[in-house]
Amino acid sequence: MNHSAVPSRVCTEVVAAWQSPGSLWSRLKAACEEDWKRYLANDFVRHIANGTLPSSTYRHFIEQDYLYCLHFCRAYALAASKSRTADELHRSLSRAVTILDGELALHRRLLTDWGLSADEIEALPESSANVAYTRYLLDIGASGDLLDLHVALSICVVGYAEVGAHLLGHERTRIEGNPYRSWIEQYGDPDFQALADSVRDHLDQVAEGRLTLHRFGELVRIYRQTLRLDIGFWDMAYREQV
Amino acid sequence: MNHSAVPSRVCTEVVAAWQSPGSLWSRLKAACEEDWKRYLANDFVRHIANGTLPSSTYRHFIEQDYLYCLHFCRAYALAASKSRTADELHRSLSRAVTILDGELALHRRLLTDWGLSADEIEALPESSANVAYTRYLLDIGASGDLLDLHVALSICVVGYAEVGAHLLGHERTRIEGNPYRSWIEQYGDPDFQALADSVRDHLDQVAEGRLTLHRFGELVRIYRQTLRLDIGFWDMAYREQV
Amino acid sequence: MNHSAVPSRVCTEVVAAWQSPGSLWSRLKAACEEDWKRYLANDFVRHIANGTLPSSTYRHFIEQDYLYCLHFCRAYALAASKSRTADELHRSLSRAVTILDGELALHRRLLTDWGLSADEIEALPESSANVAYTRYLLDIGASGDLLDLHVALSICVVGYAEVGAHLLGHERTRIEGNPYRSWIEQYGDPDFQALADSVRDHLDQVAEGRLTLHRFGELVRIYRQTLRLDIGFWDMAYREQV
Amino acid sequence: MNHSAVPSRVCTEVVAAWQSPGSLWSRLKAACEEDWKRYLANDFVRHIANGTLPSSTYRHFIEQDYLYCLHFCRAYALAASKSRTADELHRSLSRAVTILDGELALHRRLLTDWGLSADEIEALPESSANVAYTRYLLDIGASGDLLDLHVALSICVVGYAEVGAHLLGHERTRIEGNPYRSWIEQYGDPDFQALADSVRDHLDQVAEGRLTLHRFGELVRIYRQTLRLDIGFWDMAYREQV
């Protein structure tokens, strides 16, 4: 491990991304190009795309994602509690409610269909990669400001939307007969793309008047770390780890 | 000031309240009887009841209550962020959304009718009594557990419901021609009473399996302090203080 | 109250202060000149200066300041918990320990000399102005970033140092035979001035690479609000309010 | 995975541990016997004991432990910020300072001896297992009360002391010529055992008047999860994972 090589390279990438045009999201993504490639190319997503993911793996993913959604919702509630205007409060609360009434409820129904009781759902063991990701989000919220937190929260929404669009547009993706067709279509769907657009826009709003190169560098670190934790989540799901 | 007399008297009251039957709310109230009397008998409420409150005072109250609602909503969001189950999350988020879409929006409309622009509403100066009350709530949430926070949050809802019921049932209350008739009826209304019932019930649920005399004593301190800060809020409004 | 006049005046002051040379502290002070004059000229400090403050008032101040120091120390601990480097951690922990072993211990000895038992000290009733100030600090820490928190924390240290220097250099200050001579000399002392210097310097360090006009405007709001809460603390002490 | 078998077995263990005599620590340990065995028997510790741990593995452990200590210190600062008495504040601040001036400084010296610059130390990549453990601690502090947090914090101190004592008393442990002799002796040392004693005692103090079977059950869940995250940390170190 050659530590000394790291800082200066990172620095050049960050400055270039900082000077690039576009939304904050696209500039953060530009600063983390290699991690982003790994994100798109992970095994879990590849096997979703061609429909070869074992059903036990998918079930493990849903179980962990159920727990993830709980804490993801808590993190949006934390964002609401850190808000200083009614608009900000409204925005974060709406997202929290959508996760709770949307994704969490959907997962819950699936788990119930698979035979899990309410108590068993509540007692699902949380994988280490899941703890790492969710508690990192909550800690960014506790230790940083609202912009730090929204950058960390954005990966899961916008990242999934970009994965969905990527899969739908990719020649190797199998749609017909793919047991995970609904998963691909859910995240590739125009509605989910619009949600991602609004999250990207909101990031620019929260960042307005706050960005300096120094702050951008901090946000890149948060973005990269979150991206890696998201890859870690998919790897954990793929390997059915607890 | 005779400090030495205080602790033992408090202690007897607390033990008696602890041993009394009924809901946690009613036992907390029983432990704070004198403060509770002061709460019901405050000048602001008395002048609301007979309709003699100056309109400038009412306006000051609404301006401060607008700011209060913002932070009250943040405190419910904090409760959501501290939740460990989907039910708890759901409960606190719903309350937060109700405050935001209900009371806050109502106040906002009133302030707009009175000629305040959006920027002026955002820039309303916050009175010290308001800062004390709202930030105390948020700090109880940060330093204590969910039960501590819900005890502190309950005063504003259940307290107002008990004031509303008290006023509606009181012979000295003037209804006809009272410019504050809608205020009295809003909090005395069966819907608001039902909300207060559900808050009281929820307190018992959160407390289930957690109460000891020691914990009850801590909750009494939080309940009493919150009650006093609520009285302080009414006094501030009555005196049109900033 | 002419709300509409406020924003633009504030804005001009803020821009002028933003463009002025000097440390962040001095620029924040420049943006809040009128509040700063009220801060220096408050009744409590004037009567300390000429030695006419009633001893009961001073005692009330010390009792409240004891409680203040507890929460002020908690706020530095919160700053430590939000730190991302060992240096930042070290800095905030040292301040917290100094408050606890220094001012808090001194106040405790004084209260004990005045006949209060440990239980009585623990049970001192906290004034509303005290709750407002301390919980505001803690909430700025919870809702904002480390810079927001350090701006809010700086008033109490640097403000007292500036009051101390002001009093020592003022012709109307009575030193000989003034029962509050040690109070004046403590805050005017070169050691306390050096502490204030280091707090001012630290503010510049934390702010490095983060300041924009927008951020500066936010910090001005925090600085002004904290200043007012500090004046409110002195007023509360002067009037022996609980 | 047979979910349905889990809850009732756990429950019996928890009730038995709850009814067992001894300190809170020993009762929590009794409720998590199997995890505890895995904790003592992990590969990292076994290879420390017989001196066969590769030096690169040890170096990886120290690098990660350096980062761990930073966040562990933050978690004690969080405990300080949640304290309601001077004694509690003092206790948590002292621990935080000890970690910072003790273990963190020691690790830093070691890393410097190994040729890392200050910037490289600051930029060490944090492993997922490390993120999981440290942010879990911080989240327990944010979402629960002081007792929850102190239970979670206790594992790292008391657990290491029990490992140290275990190794020193174990016939298979090699002391002479073991490159990790100082590691074993540090944690087996009477001073470290005394520190662990004081942490165990403190747990009983914080728990005083608060324990019910329900609360004990919650603490068992936190204790078990923390124990597993600590095992995960050792596994990560042993496998040199990032």
Token look-up 């009814």 returns: D19
**What 8-state DSSP symbol labels residue D125?**
P
Return residues 17-36 of A near C (CB < 8 Å): none
Give, for D89, the enclosing helix (H) or strand (E): helix D86-99
Distance CA A131, CA A64 (A): 10
The yes-or-no verdict on residue D143 having pLDDT over 60 is: yes
How close is the nearest chain A Cα to the Cα of B30, in Å? 32
Of A149-158, B7-16, C59-68, D55-64, the range with the lowest mean pLDDT is B7-16
What is the mean pLDDT of the segment spanning A48-62?
Answer: 97
Say what the pLDDT of residue D122 is.
85
The yes-or-no verdict on residue A219 having pLDDT over 50 is: yes
- Domains of chain A from N-terminus onward: 25-238 (1.20.910.10)
The yes-or-no verdict on residue C2 having pLDDT over 70 is: no
What is the mean pLDDT of the segment spanning A185-212?
Answer: 97
Q: Is the dihedral of CA C90, A10, D136, D37 positive or negative?
A: negative
Distance CA C157, CA C80 (A): 17
Distance CA B25, CA B155 (A): 9
Orientation angle between helical segments B213-238 and B55-81, nearest 10 degrees: 150
A97 contacts B93? CB cut-off 8 A: yes
Q: At C122, is the pLDDT very low, low, confident or very high (cuts 50, 70, 90)? A: confident
What is the mean pLDDT of the segment spanning A103-123?
Answer: 94
Burial of C80 from C-beta contacts in 10 A (0-12 / 13-18 / 19+): buried
Residues of B in contact with D83 (CB under 8 A): 143
How close is the nearest chain B Cα to the Cα of D201, in Å? 19
The yes-or-no verdict on residue A197 having pLDDT over 80 is: yes
Contacts of A157 (CB under 8 A, 6+ apart): A195, A196, A199
Distance CA B44, CA B53 (A): 7
Closest CA relative to residue D65, chosen from D133, D117, D118: D133
Residues of A in contact with B126 (CB under 8 A): none
Residues of B in contact with C124 (CB under 8 A): 3
- Residue B69 tokens read as 């609602």
B229 contacts C131? CB cut-off 8 A: yes
Contacting chains of A (3 CB pairs or more, <8 Å) are B, C, D
Residue A166 sits at the chain D interface (C-beta within 8 Å): no
How close is the nearest chain A Cα to the Cα of B82, in Å? 7
**Three-state secondary structure call for residue A65:** helix
Q: How many helices (H) and strands (E) does chain C have?
A: 14, 0
* 8 Å CB contact between D60 and D114: no
Residue B81 sits at the chain A interface (C-beta within 8 Å): yes
Residue A78 sits at the chain B interface (C-beta within 8 Å): yes
Closest partner residue to D209 (CB to CB) among B81, B148, B212 is: B212
Q: How many helices (H) and strands (E) does chain B have?
A: 14, 0
| pLDDT < 70 stretches in chain B | 1-10
How many other C-beta atoms can be found within 10 angstroms of the C-beta atom of residue B178? 18
Give, for D4, the enclosing helix (H) or strand (E): none
Closest partner residue to D81 (CB to CB) among C77, C85, C108 is: C77
The yes-or-no verdict on residue D3 having pLDDT over 80 is: no
The yes-or-no verdict on residue C55 having pLDDT over 80 is: yes
What is the mean pLDDT of the segment spanning D164-169?
Answer: 95
Residue C182 sits at the chain B interface (C-beta within 8 Å): no
Distance CA D241, CA D60 (A): 8
**What 8-state DSSP symbol labels residue B240?**
T
Average pLDDT, chain D: 94
Q: Which amino acid is at A230?
A: D
In percent, how much of chain A has pLDDT > 70? 96
Distance CA A106, CA A103 (A): 5
Orientation angle between helical segments D128-143 and A128-143, nearest 10 degrees: 60
Orientation angle between helical segments C146-154 and C24-31, nearest 10 degrees: 70
D128 contacts A229? CB cut-off 8 A: yes
Say what the pLDDT of residue B11 is.
86
Residues of C in contact with A222 (CB under 8 A): none
Say what the pLDDT of residue C5 is.
39
Q: At D6, is the pLDDT very low, low, confident or very high (cuts 50, 70, 90)? A: very low
Residues of A in contact with D124 (CB under 8 A): 3
D117 contacts A4? CB cut-off 8 A: yes
The yes-or-no verdict on residue C215 having pLDDT over 90 is: yes
Nearest CA in chain B to D142: B142
Q: At A11, is the pLDDT very low, low, confident or very high (cuts 50, 70, 90)? A: confident
How close is the nearest chain D Cα to the Cα of C78, in Å? 5
The yes-or-no verdict on residue D4 having pLDDT over 60 is: no
Token look-up 């790291």 returns: A6
The yes-or-no verdict on residue D201 having pLDDT over 80 is: yes
Token look-up 């510049």 returns: C204
Distance CA D240, CA D223 (A): 25
D4 contacts A123? CB cut-off 8 A: no
Q: At C9, is the pLDDT very low, low, confident or very high (cuts 50, 70, 90)? A: low
CB–CB contacts below 8 A, C to D: 74
The yes-or-no verdict on residue A6 having pLDDT over 90 is: no
**Three-state secondary structure call for residue B20:** coil
**Three-state secondary structure call for residue B51:** coil
Nearest CA in chain D to B78: D143
Distance CA C55, CA B60 (A): 36
Say what the pLDDT of residue C127 is.
97
Residue B222 sits at the chain C interface (C-beta within 8 Å): no
* 8 Å CB contact between C72 and C156: yes
Residues of B in contact with A85 (CB under 8 A): 70, 122
* 8 Å CB contact between A210 and A147: yes
Residue C11 sits at the chain A interface (C-beta within 8 Å): no
Best of B131, B236, B242 to mutate (most C CBs within 10 Å, chain C): B131
Q: What interface predicted TM-score (ipTM) does this complex get?
A: 0.94
A181-203 per-residue burial string, b: 16 or more CB within 10 A, e: under 16: eebbeebbeeebbebbeebbebb
**What 8-state DSSP symbol labels residue D3?**
G
A213 contacts C212? CB cut-off 8 A: no
**Three-state secondary structure call for residue B165:** helix
pLDDT in tens, C145-199: 999 999 999 999 999 999 999 999 999 999 999 999 999 999 999 999 999 999 9
Distance CA A93, CA B56 (A): 33
Residue A85 sits at the chain D interface (C-beta within 8 Å): no
Nearest CA in chain C to B231: C128
How many other C-beta atoms can be found within 10 angstroms of the C-beta atom of residue C237? 25
Q: Which amino acid is at D189?
A: D
In percent, how much of chain D has pLDDT > 70? 96
